[in-house]
Chains A and B, each alone.
Chain A
């Protein structure tokens, strides 16, 4: 979406403005738990990117751990009638 925005604002070369970058960086800042509390502080772009990398890595690790956990759990369960119940409970939160 931001790509389309730049094309309509700029007439000749599609260059990326500082404001656009600042917008995107602040959007990212809100997604990262580490930085959400510091919403009203000025966090440098470098710090936001750094924390983003750390956060993505920790999410990747969580997926790996959960896959590991599931692989152990699936070894022991048998019933297939679980599925509908799971979907319902998952989506009801």
Chain B
């Protein structure tokens, strides 16, 4: 499922690539004395992973339930790091996200007796904001989330290959 508009500056792939590369440049600029120590590498790993998720979420912005959930998670994590007492925001988050999801009511009645409740619940754990989604939203959001994840992987692979030579 390749994006035919490779040079389209407004495509998700372009937006993600630009943001992610910018983040990588910042991460590289933070050069500690022992830039190859295991601790430093692990720290960089975490920063890169967060940068990848952040870049993707910001490229999608608030157009999707999952991206809103991810943005909220990322922001509340950075608040928590500054102030360890502000960790109890997740309750409010889920309510805010629920209001924005198109059906609003978390109805499970549809799923009873149709034989895939467990799988759907498992999926809810994997998609950001999934716990608040009804089945319809969950399926729709998952499709978009997967497209974004594959773009993310594709771009990261290209960057890694580039730096490998």
Contacts and interface: CB of A to CB of B under 8 A. Distances in A.
A64 B152 CA distance: 11
Contact of B155 (A49, A53, A90): A90
A72 B159 CA distance: 13
A58 to B, nearest CB: 10
Interface string A55-81: 111011011101111111111110010
A62 B97 CA distance: 28
B149 A59 contact: yes
B146 A21 contact: no
A31 B110 contact: no
Contacts of B6: 91-93
A3 B140 contact: yes
Contact of A63 (B24, B52, B103, B142): B52
Nearest to A31: B146
B156 A90 contact: no
B136 A66 contact: no
Contacts of A93: 2, 6
B158 A90 contact: yes
B52 to A, nearest CB: 6
Given A28-B143, A83-B25, A92-B6, A66 B102 contact: no
Interface residues of A, number: 54
Contacts of B157: 66
Of A27, A73, A74, most B-chain CB atoms within 10 Å: A74
B14 A25 contact: no
A49 B49 contact: no
A74 B162 CA distance: 11
A75 B44 contact: yes
Contacts of B45: 67-68, 71
A68 B43 CA distance: 10
Interface of B: 1-2, 6-7, 13-14, 17-18, 21, 24-25, 27-28, 35-36, 40-42, 44-45, 48-49, 52-53, 101-103, 107, 110, 114-116, 119-120, 122-123, 126-127, 134-137, 139-140, 142-143, 145-147, 149-150, 152-153, 155-160, 162-164
